[in-house]
Chains A and B, each alone.
Chain A
Amino acid sequence: MMNPMQIIGQTAVYALFALGIGYFSTLPPYTHFDPNQALIKLSFAHGGEPVTACRKRSREELAALAPNMRKLTDCPRQRVPLHIELSLDRTIILTEILPPTSWRGDGPSKIYRRFPVKAGPHFITAKLRDSRRTEGFDHFSTRQFTLKPGQNLSIDFKPAQGGFIYE
């Protein structure tokens, strides 16, 4: 049989423990993102052109290959690095060379970047070079948005769907 001190003590311990569990299970609140800002996310995974153009094999070269390896063209596996440039209100906020992934450099280049910005109207320009050229860009997109507070604007790149996709 418990004495009064034990009953009070146990109740106090359970209450304190419950208080601690109950409080820290939700509090203090955490501000992950300033509610007055918006977020632009730029992300894609895209493979550039092969580093050199495919070359036709000569008859001698084909003859030297095993019968099951006699492919008419010789294409390199490696891809060129991509050059991405993102501007916000005509100020470049990102310019980066994205190397291809994988050990052999034949995987897609990838990027995932977050840019918190003030909510309101913004002028966004995205440029991408994915060919062997050394200057200029192959893909170009300019859009104007009025971003609401807390809005998440994603910029993806899918050549099959026309290039840059804003969502």
Chain B
Amino acid sequence: MEALKHPMKLAFLWLEGWFDRFFGAKWNPFYCLGALGYYYFWIVAVSGIYLFIFFDTGVPQAYVSTQYITHEQWYLAGIMRSVHRYASDAMVVMVLMHLCREFAFDRYRGGRWFSWVTGVSTLWLVFSAGVTGYWLVWDKLAQYIAVTSTEWLDWLPIFGEPIARNFLAPSHFDGRFFTLMVFMHIAIPLFLLFIMWFHLQRINYAKVNPARGLAMGTLAMLLVLSLVKPAVSHEMANLAEVPGVLNLDWFYLWAYPMIEHLGPGFMWGFAGAGTVLLVLIPWLPPKRRRPAAVVDLENCNGCTRCVTDCPFRAVNMRQRTDGAPFHAEAVVDPSLCVSCGICVGACPTAMPFRSASDLVPGIDLPDMSVASIREKVHAATAELEGNDRVIAFGCDHGCDAGKLGIPNLAFVPLRCAAMLPPSFIDYVLSKNLSDGVVITGCREGECHHRIGNVWVDGRMARERDPQLRRRVPEERLLKAWAAPTDRRKLLSEIETFQVQLRHLPIDKGPARLTVIDGGRKGEISETAA
């Protein structure tokens, strides 16, 4: 599986790097493929509602009303029809790219299996919704779809009489059929919407709307395409004739030639095996899950910050169980926890200055505790010297700053950049363990744990709790978001940062703090001012 994922991931990273240059992180379509899928869904829904006003059921009314929509009222309904079609096509592209990207970046296993499995189930609904739409037009293409679909369904031994017989000859066909198709073309998207909502139930802060600029650009693109190449029908369906050459919509109808040439049995096998394989992929092989975050009630004051910051809804609050004078306590659901440590970074008790007692925060990762990070910081910075000493904290999924070969740089790996409590930056600088701090992680807008770098930005900008203390000088802090393929960029940024550090006046530099009594009592006083 890795042999498949790795090249896919590299391809995405390369493409996304280019898109970052053109769109910036906020507008980069790759960072909001799911949101674009939602956006296209709404465009399809709104345009579909408008078209429904003019659509008539029956033979030949379905075809005639569609021709009216396309040609008589081309300036509005015709454009709506084209937008309806092209947005549907774009939705397929977004859904498939979203699926491939989550696979390539290994975001479908462990605690994230639920989103994957529910996402896979939308595939059938998206295609069914599209196929029923093409069916409604009742042109030659619709006839082909109707006959081939029913022949495919008839392969299943569940129908007493072949349902393809409904399209055997003109006398077999009934206009009531359109009532059924209209119902299905409305019911399937509604069910799809329900599954799309369900798809997001195990994540917090789901991005369901693309950035406004991207949304406007996308809509403009659809409108221009609709004017340049309006969607039109084939000739009206005639069951006394066989459709010859057809202009298939390959986004939705790619399976139909396969049904014809390889047989309905093969196609059922292909679709069934493909669906089962996609559903089982999160367990092929299962992700080796790290221990979930644990709550230490003695240090949990029920502040809810971990609940607020958890991207996966793995932390919740419940009524206090230990009699402590707090209203609530945090509780972790291990089945949802992906061990990203973002909750640890949000915990106000994850304070490295603490020395009077063991450094045990209210919530912590058993296999990468805050205390162990503090130890790593001390060990990693021990060898640094000069006035350009840098300690870099980086996540598992971004560019590994420790492997860049930068002199005078110590690297402490984290699960996610947002796992680092901001007080660590204060701690490192105030204890004079380094001259500067680098926080690095996944590219801006595409955190492996969804929103880690957003939280880091908020905390460092002192806009989100726990905030970086105001006494920490900004010139000694560098945020450098970089993917594994951005080595050169990260190297350049850190080297520039080191040059900047060398030129900072030592006496007017950071608000260096001295910890009285070697930090044993945890009392701090400013001396540099």
Q: Is B175 an interface residue, CB under 8 A from the partner?
A: no
Please indicate the chain A residues that have their CB under 8 angstroms from the CB of B89 in the complex: 21, 24-25
Closest chain A residue, CB of each to CB of B150: A112
Given contacts A14-B217, A31-B244, A41-B168, contact A25 B162 (CB under 8 A): no
Given contacts A9-B21, A43-B164, A154-B168, contact A112 B245 (CB under 8 A): no
**Proximity string of chain B (157-180) to chain A, C-beta cutoff 8 Å, 1 when within and 0 when not:** 000111011001111100000000
Contact present for B221 and A17 (CB under 8 Å)? yes
Within 18-36 of B, Cβ neighbours of A (below 8 Å) are at 18-19, 21-24, 29
Taking each of B144, B242, B244, which has the highest tally of chain A beta carbons within 10 Å of its own beta carbon?
A: B242
Contact present for A32 and B260 (CB under 8 Å)? yes
Contact present for A151 and B160 (CB under 8 Å)? no
Distance in angstroms between the alpha carbons of A167 and B239 in the assembled complex: 10
Within 1-33 of A, Cβ neighbours of B (below 8 Å) are at 5-6, 9-10, 12-15, 17-18, 20-22, 24-27, 29-33
Distance in angstroms between the alpha carbons of A37 and B165 in the assembled complex: 21
A-B contact pairs, 23 of them (CB 8 A): A5-B21, A6-B23, A10-B217, A13-B23, A14-B217, A15-B221, A17-B90, A17-B221, A18-B222, A25-B85, A25-B251, A26-B248, A29-B247, A32-B246, A35-B244, A35-B245, A39-B242, A108-B160, A152-B241, A154-B168, A156-B168, A156-B169, A167-B169
Please indicate the chain A residues that have their CB under 8 angstroms from the CB of B217 in the complex: 10, 14
Q: Is B249 an interface residue, CB under 8 A from the partner?
A: yes
Contacts A26-B247, A33-B244, A43-B162 known; 9 new A-B pairs at CB < 8 A: A14-B217, A21-B93, A25-B231, A25-B249, A30-B248, A32-B244, A110-B161, A112-B162, A154-B168
Complex partner residue of A25 from B168, B228, B242, B250, CB under 8 angstroms: B250
Interface of A is mostly: mixed
Contact present for A14 and B221 (CB under 8 Å)? yes
Contact present for B244 and A150 (CB under 8 Å)? yes
**Proximity string of chain B (78-92) to chain A, C-beta cutoff 8 Å, 1 when within and 0 when not:** 000000011001100
Distance in angstroms between the alpha carbons of A39 and B407 in the assembled complex: 78
Given contacts A10-B23, A26-B249, contact A18 B240 (CB under 8 A): no
Please indicate the chain B residues that have their CB under 8 angstroms from the CB of A35 in the complex: 244-245
Please indicate the chain A residues that have their CB under 8 angstroms from the CB of B240 in the complex: 151-152, 167
Contact present for A34 and B250 (CB under 8 Å)? no
Q: Is A88 an interface residue, CB under 8 A from the partner?
A: no
Contact present for B242 and A152 (CB under 8 Å)? yes
**B221 to nearest A CB, angstroms?**
4
Complex partner residue of A13 from B19, B24, B231, CB under 8 angstroms: B19
A-B contact count (CB 8 A): 130
How extensive is the interface on chain B, given as a class? 35 or more
Please indicate the chain B residues that have their CB under 8 angstroms from the CB of A39 in the complex: 242
Q: Is B495 an interface residue, CB under 8 A from the partner?
A: no
Query: A residues touching B (Cβ–Cβ < 8 Å)?
Result: 5-6, 9-10, 12-15, 17-18, 20-22, 24-27, 29-35, 38-39, 41, 43-45, 101-102, 107-108, 110-112, 150-152, 154, 156, 167
Q: Is B257 an interface residue, CB under 8 A from the partner?
A: yes
Q: Is B396 an interface residue, CB under 8 A from the partner?
A: no
Distance in angstroms between the alpha carbons of A18 and B225 in the assembled complex: 6
Distance in angstroms between the alpha carbons of A27 and B21 in the assembled complex: 32
Distance in angstroms between the alpha carbons of A152 and B146 in the assembled complex: 15
Please indicate the chain A residues that have their CB under 8 angstroms from the CB of B151 in the complex: 112
Please indicate the chain B residues that have their CB under 8 angstroms from the CB of A167 in the complex: 168-171, 240
Contact present for B245 and A45 (CB under 8 Å)? no
Given contacts A22-B228, A25-B250, contact A112 B242 (CB under 8 A): no
Taking each of A6, A18, A35, which has the highest tally of chain B beta carbons within 10 Å of its own beta carbon?
A: A18
Q: Is B288 an interface residue, CB under 8 A from the partner?
A: no
Distance in angstroms between the alpha carbons of A24 and B254 in the assembled complex: 10
